[in-house]
């Protein structure tokens, strides 16, 4: 019940009985005198009307608070009209029904009639605005209206960009220019190539040499092989080219063939390709790898030499040559590297180049090479590079190349 005042005998209002700080001594010695039939009392009819209207006003306020959360999510003009109609139906009727007769007032005490709120002061249904539902997260009309006016047929398909195809990893081996090469041997060349006669005993002998060489290199983790002979004319270039062609037939294995014979370079003529390359400039770092090397297939690349140089040992002694060779092997990711070198006993080129190789393959001429020459070669190689094997070329009693481990 709300606070209302009572009148004392002298007409001055007394303290409210509902105040917590009200005490009897505040009234002094003068006790309030109530007149049962006076004008300041509240009738039973007025008290019931006052209580009923207050209860209905609290009910409408609770209804508004409970629906605030739901109105935040669905605050549209249609929902606002529905809410207003529901509040109007819950409003109290202005014409009260028949009231019971007033009971006789008690003689002990009587409450003074407080001014009842006028009929116009009743709580009226208010239009709930979506923008004022919550102070924390206001719902704006601009956020709701586009969803209502969206036309499904006015939909525009935005073209999607094509997927970006990332380039493959840069491979320097594929950057080496590829030159046409006749693996079938239809064009004449200076030396016979095993790729042109695969069914011959010579081709089978080179395949056997290839397999045994790969086993030895794999067992020791080696890559660099020097091919030389005791004297000139022993068939070093012939064996180096055909062994490289046999290695190129191994799938997923890269072979690099380098012409290091500055005295008498002839690897380009043996392969039947146009002369190309300056090996001295390449070893000095003046020519990049992609310009000096030529790729015959996906598994074979060659580095030719078209400029003879009498100071070959000076070029091979240069530290720049060692750095260029190491950088070329790392750049191309070659698995096997063959070096065609001049004879061992005629020049010091092989001796100067031995620190750059892992092993030596010695070619023996069956017509001219002697046992003393082979012993001298083994003595010169001892302590510098291991001898991988001796290949007997031009054998008189056999038409196939013999391999001596």
Cα 222 to Cα 190: distance, rounded to the nearest angstrom: 31
Cα 204 to Cα 199: distance, rounded to the nearest angstrom: 7
> Domain containing 330 — which CATH number?
3.40.50.300
pLDDT at 162: 73
Domain boundary among 100, 132, 164: 132
In a domain, 77, yes or no: yes
Same domain for 367 and 232: yes
Same domain for 182 and 128: no
pLDDT at 83: 62
pLDDT tens string 381-393? 998 899 999 998 8
Q: How many domains does the chain fold into?
A: 2
In a domain, 37, yes or no: yes
Query: Is the CA virtual torsion 266, 270, 275, 279 positive or negative?
Result: negative
In a domain, 170, yes or no: no
In a domain, 6, yes or no: no
Same domain for 212 and 71: no
Same domain for 296 and 243: yes
pLDDT tens string 205-253? 999 999 999 999 999 999 999 999 999 988 999 999 999 999 999 999 9
In a domain, 98, yes or no: no
Same domain for 222 and 300: yes
Same domain for 381 and 248: yes
* CA 69 to chain centroid: 44
Same domain for 325 and 218: yes
Same domain for 191 and 128: no
Taking each helix axis from N to C end, the angle separating 236-248 and 201-220, rounded to the nearest 10 degrees, works out to: 80
Same domain for 267 and 400: yes
Enumerate residue ranges in the chain where pLDDT < 50.
1-39, 93-115, 117-125, 128, 130-135, 139, 141-148, 398-405
Same domain for 203 and 75: no
Same domain for 226 and 128: no
Q: Which residues contact 230 (CB under 8 A, 6 or more apart)?
A: 343, 344, 345, 362, 364, 369, 373, 374, 376, 377
Domain boundary among 98, 132, 166: 132
In a domain, 56, yes or no: yes
pLDDT at 77: 58
Same domain for 327 and 254: yes
Residues 124 and 92: beta-carbon distance below 8 Å? no
pLDDT at 55: 76
Domain boundary among 66, 98, 132: 132
For 386, which DSSP code? -
In a domain, 219, yes or no: yes
Q: Domain range for residue 297?
A: 176-404
In a domain, 284, yes or no: yes
Q: Which residues contact 218 (CB under 8 A, 6 or more apart)?
A: none
């Amino acid at each position: 019940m709300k606070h209302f005042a009572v009148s004392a005998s002298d007409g001055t209002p007394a303290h409210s009985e509902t105040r917590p700080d009200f005490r009897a001594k505040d009234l002094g010695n003068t006790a309030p005198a109530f007149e049962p039939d006076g004008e300041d009392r509240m009738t039973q009819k007025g008290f019931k009307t006052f209580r009923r209207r207050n209860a209905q006003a609290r009910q409408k306020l609770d209804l508004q608070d409970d629906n605030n959360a739901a109105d935040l999510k669905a605050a549209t003009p249609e929902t606002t009209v529905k809410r207003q109609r529901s509040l109007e139906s819950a409003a109290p009727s202005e014409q009260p029904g028949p009231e019971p007769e007033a009971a006789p007032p008690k003689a002990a005490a009587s409450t003074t009639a407080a001014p009842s709120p006028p009929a116009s002061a009743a709580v009226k249904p208010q239009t709930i605005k979506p923008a004022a539902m919550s102070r924390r997260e206001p719902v704006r009309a601009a956020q709701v209206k586009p969803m209502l006016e969206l036309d499904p047929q006015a939909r525009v398909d935005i073209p999607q960009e094509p997927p970006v195809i990332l380039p493959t990893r840069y491979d320097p081996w594929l950057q080496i220019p590829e030159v046409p090469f006749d693996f079938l041997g239809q064009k004449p060349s200076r030396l016979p190539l095993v790729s042109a006669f695969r069914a011959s005993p010579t081709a089978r002998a080179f395949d056997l040499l290839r397999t045994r060489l790969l086993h030895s290199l794999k067992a020791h983790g080696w890559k660099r092989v020097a091919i030389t002979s005791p004297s000139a004319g022993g068939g070093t270039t012939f064996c180096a080219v055909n062994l490289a062609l046999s290695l190129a037939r191994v799938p997923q294995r890269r072979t690099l063939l380098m012409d290091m014979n500055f005295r008498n370079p002839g690897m380009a003529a043996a392969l039947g390709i146009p002369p190309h390359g300056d090996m001295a400039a390449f070893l000095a770092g003046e020519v990049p790898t992609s310009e000096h090397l030529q790729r015959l297939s996906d598994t074979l690349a060659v580095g030719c030499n078209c400029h003879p140089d009498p100071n070959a040992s000076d070029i091979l002694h240069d530290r720049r040559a060692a750095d260029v060779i190491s950088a070329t092997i790392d750049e191309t990711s070659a698995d096997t590297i063959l070096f065609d070198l001049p004879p061992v006993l005629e020049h010091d080129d092989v001796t100067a180049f031995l620190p750059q190789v892992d092993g030596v393959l010695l070619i023996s001429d069956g017509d001219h090479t002697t046992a003393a020459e082979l012993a001298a070669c083994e003595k010169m190689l001892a302590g510098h590079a291991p001898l991988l094997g001796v290949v007997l070329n031009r054998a008189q009693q056999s038409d196939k190349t013999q391999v001596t481990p």
